[in-house]
Amino acid sequence: MLEEDIVKFGDFTLKSGKKSAAYVNLRDMISVPTLFDQATLAYADTLRASDILTKPDGSLRYLEGIPEAAIYYGGAVAREVGAPLLYHRVKAKEHGQPRAIEGRFEEGDEVVLLDDVVTTAGSKLEEVTAFGEFGLKATGVVVLVDREQGGRTELESRGLDFATAMTLSGIAKYALDERLAGVTQTIYDSLLGELDPAELG
């Protein structure tokens, strides 16, 4: 990801207007087949290791890639781990059977939400609410990168299981140690200052 500038370090202004020493754009990985495959396997390994996809009876919960960033990964990861997939339409279709959630499900079924990155968890909680309106229960969230800025704590406080393949501090430490992506001690220290101390380590 560092070599392909998927994760960059320096001085950036984020969409929120906040300054940051890191910029994460995981959406570009869908255009790099090797990275897409690596990400799919990282998600799958994380799900298997965390067990959040497995119900007490051993069967698997539904998996859903949160629109728009994780839709493509949702399908690829579901196939890799053998989980049933649901698809959330951003706009419900107006022909045939109008519905916002595609797939076969029953009221009370459980789903694990998959996304690319978590910062404050706002979009994840919106998705939890959206699925709840259809009688589905979101039980967990899995992401590729945790920015360690309060999202994990917020999700867990709502009773959701959480798993991540990587952390932003971990990526930055690797880049610093290996002298990659222009990460200096100053940039690394600046990044750590942005993160939630309770979520580090």
pLDDT in tens, 19-74: 889 998 888 999 999 999 999 999 999 999 999 999 999 999 999 999 888 999 99
Contact between residue 26 and residue 116 where contact means Cβ atoms under 8 Å apart: yes
Cis peptide before 68 (omega within 30 of 0): yes
pLDDT digits (tens, 9 = 90+) for 1-24: 888 889 999 888 876 677 889 998
Angle at alpha carbon of residue 41, lines to 38 and 47, rounded to 5°: 145
Q: Kindly report, residue by residue over 132-173, the tens digit of the pLDDT.
A: 999 999 999 999 999 999 999 999 999 999 999 999 999 999
**Domain range summary for the chain, segments of one domain joined by +:** 30-167
The CATH classification number of 30-167 equals 3.40.50.2020
Note the pTM of the prediction, 2 decimals. Answer: 0.91
Q: Report which DSSP code applies to 121.
A: -
Terminal-residue alpha carbon distance, the chain: 21
